[in-house]
Amino acid sequence: DQQVKQNSPSLSVQEGRISILNCDYTNSMFDYFLWYKKYPAEGPTFLISISSIKDKNEDGRFTVFLNKSAKHLSLHIVPSQPGDSAVYFCAAPSTGANSKLTFGKGITLSVRP
Amino acid sequence: DAGITQSPRHKVTETGTPVTLRCHQTENHRYMYWYRQDPGHGLRLIHYSYGVKDTDKGEVSDGYSVSRSKTEDFLLTLESATSSQTSVYFCAISGQGNTGELFFGEGSRLTVL
């Protein structure tokens, strides 16, 4: 039973436009959420996170929005750049002292020049 | 960049042979993880370690074992490789067990023929 879901496998946007990547979750006990970015032949790298007590966190061109009532979060990239083309994973840590990250299946973002 | 190295980076083997992947860190982080990445499945946790000789199973642990005899090394062993274990394997480390930010290695691509 997947607790973190990314239902859209891919997204294509024009350079300069907004990219919106969506993520849904089922466990209301998650304390915070993270987004990771992955380029081909490289390991994932941390991008941005948000605590469950907030509804927005912004870092430069990247903003994550959290809607707890809908159990939904989204990553906005404005403006999108070709270098943003990558796979984006939504993730959440399980509760407990030795928590583990549960990842969604990922969304492949392509930004067209 | 976090000091994580995985070896080998690429390996081709035959069904039924044993395989060991090594993850080495120079960060003295307590937590270490092995994930596999497959199309349509995202990143799935195989095993993790929360200290020397302390390990636990993840969501896809069948067919895998791990060992951690010292802080810097975390070994993933496939006792008898199968074609379903063809994948890209990522090691990750974390200094804290419940904050979620992981640092990933560059991956080990394993092909089982």
φ, ψ of residue A83 to 5 degrees: the values are -70, -10
Q: Average pLDDT in the A44-50 region?
A: 95
DSSP state of A84: G
- Using an 8 Å CB-CB cutoff, list chain A residues near B100: 32, 34, 49, 91-93, 99, 101
CATH 3.10.150.10 fits B4-112, yes or no: no
Measured in Å, how far apart are chain A's first and last C-alpha atoms?
A: 38
Kindly determine whether residue A103 and residue B42, on different chains, have CB atoms separated by under 8 Å: yes
Q: Which residues pair with B24 in a beta bridge?
A: B5, B73
B107: left (phi over 0), alpha (psi -120 to 50) or beta: left
pLDDT, position B100: 64
DSSP state of A83: G
Identity (one letter) of the amino acid at A35? W
- Using an 8 Å CB-CB cutoff, list chain B residues near A43: 4, 90, 92, 104-107
pLDDT, position A100: 82
Q: How far apart are CA A20 and CA A64, in angstroms?
A: 10
Helix, strand, coil proportions of chain A in percent (round to 5)?
5, 55, 45
Two tokens, residue A79: 């403006």
Q: Which residues pair with A10 in a beta bridge?
A: A108
pLDDT, position B14: 97
- A40 Cβ under 8 Å from any chain B Cβ: no
The residue among B98 and B28 whose pLDDT is bigger is B28
Q: How far apart are CA B71 and CA B73, in angstroms?
A: 6
Q: How far apart are CA B63 and CA B48, in angstroms?
A: 15
Q: How confident is the model at residue A28 (pLDDT cuts 50, 70, 90)?
A: confident
Q: How confident is the model at residue A98 (pLDDT cuts 50, 70, 90)?
A: low
- Name the fold adopted by A4-112: Immunoglobulin-like (2.60.40)
Query: Pick from A43, A97, A105: which is nearest to B104 by CB?
Result: A43
The owner of tokens 């395989």 is B19
pLDDT, position A31: 86
- A39 Cβ under 8 Å from any chain B Cβ: no
Q: Where are the domains of chain B?
A: 4-112
Q: Tell me: pLDDT of B49 over 60.
A: yes
Q: Average pLDDT in the A66-78 region?
A: 96
Nearest to B73, CA basis, from B56, B93, B89? B93
- Using an 8 Å CB-CB cutoff, list chain A residues near B98: 93, 95-99
